[in-house]
Amino acid sequence: MADSKDLQQIVERAVAQVLDRQMPILQAELVARVIAELPPPPVASALPAAGSPTQSNLVQAVAKIHAGTTQKEILRALLDAGATYAARVALFVVKAGTANGWQSRGFGAEDAVKDFSVDMTAGPSAHAYQSRTVTPANMAEMDRHFVEQFGGPANEQIVIMPLVLKDKVAALLYADGGADGMLDGPSLEVLVLTTSAWLEVASLRKQTHRDFAEAPAAVEQPAVAAPVQTVSSFSDPFAAHTPTHIAPKPAPAPEAEPAAEVVEVASHAGSVNAAASAPAAAADPFAGMSADDADTHRKAQRFARLLVDEIKLYNQAKVAEGRRNKDLYDRLKEDIEKSRSTFQKRYGNSAAASGDYFQKEVVRSLAEDDYSVMGANFRK
């Protein structure tokens, strides 16, 4: 009996020694086989690392948006770029509290959502519109008619982003992952913010060119009929977003009917210059000056408007809060003084220095001609 127990102990020790030596090899082989059977890991949804191909694509997308010179070109570039970061994207223009479809990508035809009206009384569309913030949601929260007509993504996740112009929501961008779940919210947000800013920059550029072209011609030119173009349902989508404190431009003399086309943001952003240029309709304030001095004064006025418009463009929230709390200068002091310095370097020693145009434009445009809005620290 004792011999049997001794033999068992000897065998157990031998087996244990073999297992001790082989266990790491078996463990490594087991892990390798399990990993080989696993599906590939999903694409990370976090922001791309610096210098990554995805980030390079985003830079290229922003560049394409900046390449647009008209409203149509810029918004189409937004949708084209958005299709890189979401399986389905659609743009809905907001007018009078109603969001109507314009164009889309990933829904089939580009005009698949054309004239489709999204419910703005509830759900993520209403939240994005009212809060002016990016609104992630579940497809079940979306407008029932939208779901019935276009279906939803496989993972049920959607996002709606407001495109803000002149402190108002001018459009909503809808995006979802479609069948494959491709939805990169942060990159889409960058594209929407880029588009909003570029639409306003483009409008300022157009107004500047228009100002130079408005000088009266020495010889009256015969009227030429404008070419007829296709009218888009997206005509003048942002007409309701003109700031209420800006006076409209004086009506021009009757002329040939303009070509029917999408009215660019400049058509209403250009009214920024109206209040300053309106007095000229009655009498030229520079009539007693030499031609060179008058030209310098006009250029200084335009430059001041562009500088202040740029402050408004990149500080919309601060401007709104400053007006409400009557401390606008304290919130924008750094931007105002940097722009003032830029203006002084160009026109501080010119004939236009006496006009104090930058100061006047700050009060007119930022404070809506109300000095009290600027706060106690603003020097008059």
Q: Which residues pair with 137 in a beta bridge?
A: 158
Domain range annotation of the chain: 53-200, 283-380
Predicted TM-score (pTM) of the model is: 0.48
Residue 115: band (very low, low, confident or very high) from pLDDT cuts 50, 70, 90 = confident
Mean pLDDT (whole number) for 89-102 = 89
What is the rounded radius of gyration, in angstroms, for the C-alpha atoms of the chain? 31
Q: List the structure tokens of 220.
A: 């009256």
The pLDDT assigned to 19 comes to 64
The residue to which tokens 């977003």 are assigned: 241
pLDDT at 196 over 60: yes
pLDDT at 126 over 50: yes
pLDDT at 212 over 60: no
Sheet holding 88-95, edge to edge: 117-118, 98-105, 88-95, 168-176, 157-165, 135-138
The angle at the Cα of 27, spanning 22 to 33, to the nearest 5 degrees, equals 125
Please say whether the structural domain 53-200 has been given the CATH code 3.30.450.40: yes
pLDDT at 135 over 60: yes
* More confidently predicted of 149 and 229: 149
Alpha-carbon distance 264 to 244, whole Å? 18
pLDDT digits (tens, 9 = 90+) for 232-277: 344 445 554 444 443 444 444 444 333 333 334 434 434 434 444 4
The pLDDT assigned to 24 comes to 61
Cβ neighbour number for residue 345 with a 10 Å cutoff: 9
Residue 60: band (very low, low, confident or very high) from pLDDT cuts 50, 70, 90 = confident
pLDDT digits (tens, 9 = 90+) for 1-27: 456 777 777 877 877 776 666 666 655
The pLDDT assigned to 34 comes to 52
The pLDDT assigned to 297 comes to 93
Compute CA 339 distance to the chain's CA centroid, rounded to the nearest angstrom: 23
The pLDDT assigned to 300 comes to 92
Residue 67: band (very low, low, confident or very high) from pLDDT cuts 50, 70, 90 = confident
Distances (CA, A) of 120 to 66, 124, 160, 253, 377: 30, 9, 12, 40, 42
Lowest mean pLDDT among 9-18, 25-34, 199-208, 282-291: 25-34
* More confidently predicted of 53 and 379: 379
The pLDDT assigned to 181 comes to 85
* More confidently predicted of 153 and 282: 153
Dihedral sign for Cα atoms in the order 160, 164, 168, 171: negative
The pLDDT assigned to 220 comes to 44
* More confidently predicted of 191 and 227: 191
pLDDT at 166 over 50: yes
Q: List the structure tokens of 284.
A: 């030229």
The pLDDT assigned to 21 comes to 67
Q: List the structure tokens of 126.
A: 């209403």
Alpha-carbon distance 165 to 240, whole Å? 10
The pLDDT assigned to 22 comes to 64
